[in-house]
Amino acid sequence: MEIGRRAFLKSLIGALSVPVWYPSRASGAAFVCNPFVQNVGESQATIVWATEEVATCTVGVSVNGMPSGSAQGVVQKFLPADTGLQLPYYQHKALLTGLEPGTEYSYEVIVDGQRRAVGDGLRFRTAGSGRFSFLAFGDSGWGGLEQRTLAELMLRENPSFILHLGDLAYMQGTFQEFQSRYFAVYQDVMQRVPFFPCLGNHEYMTQNGFPHVALHDVPVPEDIPHEDRGRYYSFDWGNVHFVALDSNAPLVQAVQESGPMLQWLENDLRNTQKFWKIVYFHHPPYASGPNQGDGLSELVRHHVVPILERYHVSLVLSGHEHSYQRSYALAGQEIVPDGEGTVYVTSGGGGARLYRCDSSRYGNIRSSEHHYLKVEVDEARLTLCSIGTSGNEIDRLDLTPPPTISDGGVVNAASSLPRFAPGTLISIYGRNLAPETQHSAEVPLPREVLGVSVTADGEPLPLLYVSPMHLNAQLPFELRQGAAVQVRTPNGTYDTSIPILSRSAPGIFVVVHQNGAPVSDESPARPGEFLTVYATGLGAVSGPIVCGSQTPDNPLLTTKADVKVELAGTLLDPAFAGLAPGRIGLYQVDFQVPGQLGGGQHTLSLVVDLSASQAVSLQIAID
Ligand SMILES: [Fe+2]
């Protein structure tokens, strides 16, 4: 008890001590906020800093000592009346563009023509592919010993970036508090590692979070209204889609006044194709402790969680409760098997005084300790560790979501119908199917990509394309019956089946001109013109062909079935119907548009023996 009291007093003394946040002084305008990196992506980064006097500044970047670009700082002056500071605050932001992914850049800030050195070197690394790690924590802005101890530990971690889960600067998120309890504490980390923060309730205590928004530079999706920019956003890093929400005023407005944030969230999650989806905001939906009855947590639980579950968000990070808490995997507020559902982690132990954490039916991992989270993402495996002030591991969680195929998710790749023939190109839709997106470039096609394979009756299929939500493969020409289909990934398997095969199950991909350009409203076909239909599911051909290999051009492999082109109700004999030379698993049907055909939209389909493809529309123009 006594130790706890002493720790609290020590923490309080740290919080009340006079901050040292005027970092470096040289000739010319001095920094009142040292340079730090923001909004780093694959090809851009923003450098932000502040001077106490007006100054003309630029940022230069180099790779391995070779200069590779520069950007002018755009200055914004904040008056003492706006900031509560004693002097004007000149904030500079330099947007660096045209950067290379996965590359380490050194940078320097030039103030009024003079190079300014800070610390032991300024550098950052752009986003790229492959494994990476990030840190996360909330409720840090106390200025005490524990916050500074954790900041020291973070310096050794070398993460790609840091998510801040809100309550960055107690008590009221003022400019002064941001300087002394945020920038002063993390400046050595921030000069290399971008923070992607969300707003806590304490940030809203000053001008509705104005200092927080003004002092950061975060991604700005175009579909976010101007007044909400800087408060919620999303970004990609590797194979993860991150979403930062604002569980304060924008959430209340979304629920009570049809504000835009939740509709934006729905659209944002619907559009991402990334394997992992991680969403973070300040108020936890399921944490327990002094804030358990918080009205904003209740709004999150009722209005945000259903959206997150609908789009299979794997991990949700929050703060607000000053402790560490982890839920079971949950769906519909019920516990589901590991690997399914959403895991909710509360990480509010970044530095503020700790709260008790109570038992909860939603999870049994909890600890009232100061800590931060370290999350490592390695393809389809995610490992989360909670790390305490002595570098101790409080908790560890591995997420390895297994593959799932949607109901009716195996279809003919061209028609999107469950109709198959020997040699058909198929699409498989679901989730957790592959850790990344990759088109197969090698010939013959590989039977395993990124640890992912698809088998039909145990036989691995050639793979054209893999991605988290969509696979493309080719069925064997030898297949005559329906087949048991299995998707295998490093995280597990999913079994399904396809029905009995037809001799033919045609599906049309596209109709093109002889120059390869698709026929469209903008590029219509003309009477008498020769066109090519690219298709799949036309069945057996005149000679041997190995599934997944390139089609020869000599001899040409023609279809065994009788193929007709039905255009505007008339059956036409094609000039050629067979496998497309030089392509893999693709059929082509060449035909001539009748010279007497009138202009306008006409329907076109392939009729192969007794099977018809889907109908597509063909625009015909008369000169
Ligand atoms: Fe909070």
- In the predicted model, what is the mean pLDDT of the chain? 93
Within 369-479, residue ranges assigned H as helices are: none
- pLDDT category at 596 given cuts 50, 70, 90 is very high
Give the distance (Å) from ligand 1 centre to CA of residue 140.
10
Give the distance (Å) from ligand 1 centre to CA of residue 336.
29
Distance CA 344, CA 359 (A): 15
Give the distance (Å) from ligand 1 centre to CA of residue 139.
6
Give the distance (Å) from ligand 1 centre to CA of residue 151.
19
Residue 442 CB partners (closer than 8 Å, separation 6+)? none
Give the distance (Å) from ligand 1 centre to CA of residue 166.
7
Identify whether residues 275 and 141 lie together within a single domain: yes
Q: What is the pLDDT of residue 501?
A: 78
3-state secondary structure 135-166: EEECCCCCCCHHHHHHHHHHHCCCCCEEEECC
Which residue, 109, 127, 145, sits at the end of a domain? 127
What is the tens place of the pLDDT at every residue in 391-419? 999 999 999 999 999 999 999 999 999 99
* Tokens describing residue 424: 């058909």
Identify whether residues 285 and 241 lie together within a single domain: yes
Closest CA to 525 of 535, 534, 538, 515: 515
Distance CA 415, CA 534 (A): 12
Give the distance (Å) from ligand 1 centre to CA of residue 216.
19
What is the tens place of the pLDDT at every residue in 38-83? 999 999 999 999 998 999 999 999 999 999 999 999 999 999 998 9
For residue 438, give its domain range. 404-498
Identify whether residues 441 and 539 lie together within a single domain: no
Identify whether residues 484 and 512 lie together within a single domain: no
Q: What is the pLDDT of residue 169?
A: 97
Give the distance (Å) from ligand 1 centre to CA of residue 209.
13
Give the distance (Å) from ligand 1 centre to CA of residue 278.
20
Give the distance (Å) from ligand 1 centre to CA of residue 557.
68
Task: Indicate whether 8 pLDDT > 50.
Answer: no
Which residue, 343, 366, 400, sits at the end of a domain? 400
Cross-strand partners of 589: 533, 577
* Tokens describing residue 307: 């959206």
What is the tens place of the pLDDT at every residue in 259-292? 999 999 999 999 999 999 999 999 999 989 999 9
Read off the CATH number of the domain in which 513 is found: 2.60.40
Give the distance (Å) from ligand 1 centre to CA of residue 200.
5
Distance CA 404, CA 420 (A): 21
Structure letter (DSSP) for residue 38: E
CA 581 from chain center: how many Å?
Answer: 38
Distance CA 374, CA 378 (A): 13
What is the tens place of the pLDDT at every residue in 426-446? 999 999 999 999 999 999 999
Read off the CATH number of the domain in which 6 is found: 2.60.40.10
Prediction pTM value: 0.92
Identify whether residues 278 and 371 lie together within a single domain: yes
Give the distance (Å) from ligand 1 centre to CA of residue 281.
10
Identify whether residues 345 and 299 lie together within a single domain: yes
Q: What is the pLDDT of residue 364?
A: 87
Give the distance (Å) from ligand 1 centre to CA of residue 167.
6
Task: Indicate whether 13 pLDDT > 60.
Answer: no
Give the distance (Å) from ligand 1 centre to CA of residue 238.
30
Domain count along the chain: 4
Identify whether residues 451 and 537 lie together within a single domain: no
* Tokens describing residue 474: 């080719």
Identify whether residues 338 and 369 lie together within a single domain: yes
Read off the CATH number of the domain in which 362 is found: 3.60.21.10
Q: What is the DSSP string of 183-198?
A: IHHHHHHHTTS-EEE-
Distance CA 297, CA 287 (A): 9
- pLDDT category at 119 given cuts 50, 70, 90 is low
Identify whether residues 326 and 206 lie together within a single domain: yes
Give the distance (Å) from ligand 1 centre to CA of residue 389.
21
Identify whether residues 101 and 157 lie together within a single domain: no
Identify whether residues 170 and 259 lie together within a single domain: yes
Identify whether residues 209 and 290 lie together within a single domain: yes
Which residue, 498, 516, 533, sits at the end of a domain? 498
CA 116 from chain center: how many Å?
Answer: 36
Give the distance (Å) from ligand 1 centre to CA of residue 300.
14
